[in-house]
Structures are given as structure tokens and as C-alpha cells.
Amino acid sequence: MMYRVKHVTTYRYGDPVLLAHHQSHLTPRQTPHQTCLRAQLRITPQPSEIDESGVDYYGNPTAFFGLRDPHGTLTVQVTSKVEVRPRELPAADYGAPWSGPRDPLADLTGETLVEVADFCFDSPFITVSSDLRAYAAVSFVKGRPLMGCLLDLNKRIRTEFAYDPTTTTLATPLSQVLAQKSGVCQDFAHLFIACARAMGLPARYVSGYLLTKPPPGKQKLRGSDASHAWVSVFLPEFGWVDFDPTNNCLPDLEHVTLGWGRDFDDVSPLRGVVLGGGEHRLKVGVDVEPVGQ
């Protein structure tokens, strides 16, 4: 599949911003199943300085830019062309029968150990608790193949939690998400990761986009797509496998990967420090469209 992805972020400030420095994670990264053919970044007003060659600690493309002139609005637009190829996915009965929580770093050495170590433990938005461990244990039944345990967890989050953007914010703790059984894709990804780490499995947060389809007979609205989040879990002797608990599926041709980290904090699409600005309003529009070669 070939996609054109357009992501537009607009900030409108109550007072002029006198000075600003920003970092973006808006360029799709290269992976074994994905190639970013081009990405064009446009910023209004024109920044005083910009560097689009950055790569963060986890290998995600980044851009840094600064604005030194007063401005009341900021628009950041990235238009990308991305090729997504089929992934190799394990069978539902893959993995040894589950026997209980494991040491996540056992039997790992060299580059593999370095690759997964950061994704085994608590991170800024994810803290494993006894309640989360108990929730995970329902899926991790002794004797069930490891892949079967993860698929069951993926399905349970989709069926037991309501998608409701009015019930959570970036600051909502996982304990509240678990108690109220509602949230958005970011919350469900964090929940899945916490459960996997509670069982001793390395798990990372994946930021990206999902091709959405309009209802039958309806035309897709421009800008109606949104950023999406899902999870990648490291399986022994196989490698990283992605799970989308929001939709109870295994990401494949309809998911476009931006980047990954320990949780949302590592791959926030746009973040920065501003002097001035006062109150602000944020508007985000995303389009994911299949295109020809």
C-alpha cells in the first residue's frame, strides 16, 4: 500500500508568543515493513532556525525549529508519502505455554539486550501496579501459548473498555483508566504495555496513523483522521510484534508508523517551550489517503 499522509497542527494563542523552540516527531520512520519516500515540513510563520536531520535516542526522525519573532498563531504541516508492506506475523499458537511472569532480560545478550532493556520497566506514563498485574493475569493463563495470551489481552481491552475522548487527558493515570473502563487509543496502548511489562515482556509504545473508512454511502471528510497509537511486544525467538488494542487487530497494511518509545512522552508529535502566548487553542487535522505508485 502507498499512502499520502497530511498532518496539520495549528496553535492559536491568546497573547503573542515572543520566543519559541519546538521539537516534532512527524516524519514516518523507516522499518522493515515501511519506507518513507518523502516528507515535506512547512511551518508558518517561517522559523528563524530549523534542523530536519535529527534522530532521537530510539532512532525516530525528529525536527527542531525556533521562532524569534512575535506570533499569534503557529501552523506545522507535514506531508509524507509512505509505502507499507505486509508484515510477517506469528500464528495464534506461537510461543511456549505460559508458565508465569518471567525475567524480561533473561537469556538476552548483546544488541538484543540493548534494544529491549528500556521497554521492560516503568516509564513516565506507565507504572505497573498490583491492579494492573491482576488485570493482565486473566489473559496470561498457564498452559496458553504466549501469542494466545497477548491476543486475548488485545481482545479484552477492545471489548471491556469504551472509546470515549471526554473521559481522559494526557494527565489521566492508568489506575483511573482501569477503574472507569474508558479512554482513547493512547490510554489503551499504555494499558496494554503495563500489562505486558507486568508479565515480564518488553513492550513499547508506537505512534502513527490508521487508515479509516467512512460509513457506507458517506464520503470521507477531509482532516477527519487522527493520530493513532498501538503497542509492540518483543517475543523470544521472533522479535517485535504489533498489537492494536483499540481495534483488536494486528497492525499490518493500514497502519503507518511514525515512531516508538517507552510511552507517549517519548514520541509526542509536537512539543516545545514558548515565552508568552497566554491561553491557546489547538486544532489538529490528519488525512491518510491511498495513492498510486
> At residue 174, what is the residue type?
L
Look up residue 18 and give its three cell numbers.
515572543
Look up residue 178 and give its three cell numbers.
482501569
CATH class held by domain 2-85+268-290: mainly beta
How far is 252 from 246, CA to CA, in rounded Å? 14
So what's the pLDDT on residue 20?
Answer: 97
How far is 61 from 81, CA to CA, in rounded Å? 15
How far is 170 from 185, CA to CA, in rounded Å? 12
So what's the pLDDT on residue 219?
Answer: 63
- Of 112, 281, 150, 67, which Cα lies nearest the Cα of 120? 112
Matching fold, domains 2-85+268-290 and 110-265: no
> At residue 134, what is the residue type?
A
Mean pLDDT of each 10-residue bin along the chain, 293 residues long: 96 97 97 97 97 97 97 98 96 94 88 94 97 98 97 98 94 96 97 98 97 72 72 94 96 96 97 95 93 77
Contact 177, 251 (CB under 8 A): no
How far is 282 from 293, CA to CA, in rounded Å? 34
Q: Does domain 110-265 have CATH number 3.40.50.10540?
A: no
Phi, psi of 182 (to 5 degrees): -155, 165
How far is 22 from 277, CA to CA, in rounded Å? 14
So what's the pLDDT on residue 213?
Answer: 76
So what's the pLDDT on residue 69?
Answer: 96
Pairing of strands 162-163, 182-183: parallel
Domain ranges of the chain: 2-85+268-290, 110-265
Look up residue 113 and give its three cell numbers.
539486550
pLDDT digits (tens, 9 = 90+) for 84-141: 999 999 999 999 999 999 898 888 889 999 999 999 999 999 999 999 999 999 999 9
Q: What angle do CA 183, 230, 82 make, to 5 degrees?
A: 130
